[in-house]
Amino acid sequence: MKIVIIKYNAGNIRSVLFALERLGYHAVVSDDPGLISKADKVIFPGVGEASSAMSYLHEHGLAQVIQSLKQPVLGICLGMQLLCNFSEENQTDCLNIINRPIRQFPQLGLKIPQIGWNDIFGLKGPLFNQVPEHSYVYFVHSFYAPLSEYTLASVEYMIPYSSALQNDNFFAVQFHPEKSGKVGEQILTNFLNM
């Protein structure tokens, strides 16, 4: 199985690579559109800022490639947000694969960004096979995807919002499965088994 992790100007790519290696999978980190297009599975991770990430994707011909993918794709954290249509982070037009906006957390007295463990619930679909309701996973983010028909799992921090989304072959999680212990390993395994 050919697994490609999309390389762009966003952090945290190495930790995803190491998590896959711990599970016994070999992955390639690449920004080569041809290699990405031919992969069996594509992972689109990221920690960073939306507008500079989108600029990089457009400049390197990656935006159009990602939009054209037909194999299973997993967006993680910033990768999930970029799969949506718009981010309030610097008013950024994103990839519009999941037709929902990304919003900034309201100022309700809790610390922003949300950093740490939180429980996910309302789990649906094959991404969450053998993952118990209210499992704890690791989050680091200041922006969120509102609940919608694309929501596969929810979480609450100040407000309920989407911790996972799906549109067709595109799956996306706001949390970091590569930093979420056994639960994260199960989610990654479920994705790779699709």
Q: Which residues contact 105 (CB under 8 A, 6 or more apart)?
A: 112, 113, 114, 142, 143, 144, 157, 158, 159
Tell me which of 88, 141, 176, 185 is the catalytic residue: 176
Query: Cα(164)–Cα(151) distance, rounded to whole angstroms?
Result: 6
Give the HSE-up count for residue 136: Cα atoms under 13 Å, Cβ half-sphere. 5
- Look up residue 122 and give its DSSP letter: S
| Annotated catalytic residue, options 84, 89, 141, 178 | 178
Query: Which residues touch 142 (CB under 8 Å, ≥6 apart)?
Result: 89, 104, 105, 112, 113, 114
Single-letter amino acid code for the residue at 9: N
Q: Which of 21, 77, 134, 149 is catalytic?
A: 77
Q: Is 176 a catalytic residue?
A: yes
- Active-site positions? 77, 176, 178
